[in-house]
């Protein structure tokens, strides 16, 4: 069986309000104003596919938010999204691998984040057989092609894969391909699913 885990809010806790909070402090623009201006637009998606550079994305996002930030300030806020790992989920991933199951991470991400979290959370890479990152392969969830890419690379059928993600659109896309998919609502979802399926 192939177990596919999303990264953010599945293996590692994240909170985008932390990003906007740092930018608010640095720019003097109220947090609520930044929250109202922010959206995951086409530039956001292009960045996650690796189609535009980090500096270009920073410039576009600063324009969207109407804030004046240096690239260093932008980066300081961008990396503040990470809170910490979910140890119970990591433990399950390690247990799965120990009994011979295949465990991978499939994450919509970007170069800046890839430069950050592996250094701060090396245990994540140690708990996975492989990490598929959107910006490396030029695709992102919920595009069907990214799921097909992972299945093909892993040499398994959709029926032999289980996918954990916190985004309903990603879950729906995976289910449409026949992948058993579990919507992760909080840090208890993954441990409770494995306990209920007698896999702890």
Decide if 6 is catalytic. Answer: yes
Helix (H) or strand (E) holding 180: strand 180-183
Residue tagged active-site, from 6, 129, 165, 186: 6
**Paired tokens of 196:** 């209920």
What is the gyration radius of the CA atoms in the chain, in angstroms? 17
DSSP 73-92: HHHHHHGGGEEEE-HHHHHH
Q: For the chain, what is the total number of helices (H) and then of strands (E)?
A: 13, 7
Strand order in the sheet with 130-133: 130-133, 102-107, 2-5, 161-165, 180-183
Check: CB of residue 34 under 8 Å from CB of residue 23: yes
Catalytic residue positions, numbered: 6
């Amino acid at each position: 069986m192939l177990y596919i885990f999303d990264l953010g809010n599945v293996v590692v806790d994240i909170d985008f309000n932390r990003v906007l909070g740092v930018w608010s402090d640095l720019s003097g623009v109220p947090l609520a104003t930044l929250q109202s201006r922010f959206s995951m637009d086409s530039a956001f998606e292009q960045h996650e596919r690796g189609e535009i550079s980090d500096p270009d994305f920073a410039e576009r996002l600063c324009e969207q938010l109407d804030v004046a930030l240096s690239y260093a300030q932008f980066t300081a806020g961008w990396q503040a999204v990470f809170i910490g790992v979910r140890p119970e989920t990591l433990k399950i991933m390690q247990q799965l691998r120990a009994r011979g199951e295949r465990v991978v991470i499939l994450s919509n991400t970007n170069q800046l984040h890839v430069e950050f979290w592996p250094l701060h959370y090396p245990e994540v890479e140690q708990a996975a057989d492989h990490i598929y990152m959107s910006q490396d392969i030029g695709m992102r969830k919920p595009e069907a092609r990214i799921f097909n890419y992972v299945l093909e690379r892993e040499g398994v059928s959709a029926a032999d894969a289980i996918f954990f993600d916190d985004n309903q659109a990603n879950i729906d896309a995976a289910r449409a391909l026949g992948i058993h998919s579990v919507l992760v609502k909080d840090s208890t979802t993954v441990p409770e699913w494995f306990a209920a399926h007698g896999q702890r």
